[in-house]
Chain A
Amino acid sequence: MKHGAGGKWYLNARLYSEEVARKHNLREFLLEQYKNFEQIPVRKVHGFDPKNLGYTLRIPIIGRLAKHTAEKMLHSERPPKNPFHADGHIGQVVPLEDGIAILQSCAAEPIIEKNCMCRFMSRGEKEACCINFGVMSEIVDKLPRFIPEKEKYHLTRDEAVQRFREHNLKGYIGTIWFGPFPYINNLCSCQSPECAGLRPRVDFGITSIHKAEYVLAKDESLCTACGACVARCPFKALSVDKKSGQVLLDVQACYGCGVCRHVCPTEAIALKPRDEVPAVAGRY
Chain B
Amino acid sequence: MARIKIDIDHRICGGGHKVDPRACCKCLRACAPAVFTLHQSFGVVEKDPLDPQLWSISVLWPTLCNRCLKCVEVCPEKAISVT
Contacts and interface: CB of A to CB of B under 8 A. Distances in A.
A190 to B, nearest CB: 12
Interface residues of A, number: 25
A39 B34 contact: no
A124 B50 contact: no
A121 B33 CA distance: 13
Nearest to A145: B51
A161 B54 CA distance: 35
A51 B62 contact: yes
A20 B63 CA distance: 39
Nearest to A193: B34
B74 interface: no
B57 to A, nearest CB: 9
B37 A41 contact: yes
Given A55-B3, A122-B28, A39 B39 contact: yes
A39 B42 contact: yes
Contacts of B38: 38, 120-122, 124
A35 B63 CA distance: 28
Contacts of A194: 34
Where chain B touches its partner, the secondary structure class is: mixed
Interface string B56-72: 00111111100000000
A54 B37 contact: no
Contact of A42 (B25, B28, B60, B62): B60
Contacts of A243: none
A1 B74 CA distance: 45
B17 interface: no
B33 to A, nearest CB: 6
Contacts of A125: 25, 29
Interface of A: 35-36, 38-39, 41-42, 50-51, 53-55, 120-125, 142-145, 193-194, 199, 203
Give the 3 A-B residue pairs with the shortest CB-CB distance, closest first.
Answer: A54-B63, A124-B25, A38-B39
Interface of B: 3, 21-22, 24-25, 28-29, 33-34, 36-40, 42, 49-52, 58-64
28 contacts: A35-B49, A36-B40, A39-B39, A41-B37, A41-B39, A50-B60, A51-B61, A51-B62, A53-B61, A53-B63, A54-B61, A54-B62, A54-B63, A55-B3, A55-B63, A121-B37, A123-B28, A123-B29, A124-B24, A124-B29, A125-B25, A143-B51, A145-B51, A145-B52, A193-B64, A194-B34, A203-B61, A203-B64
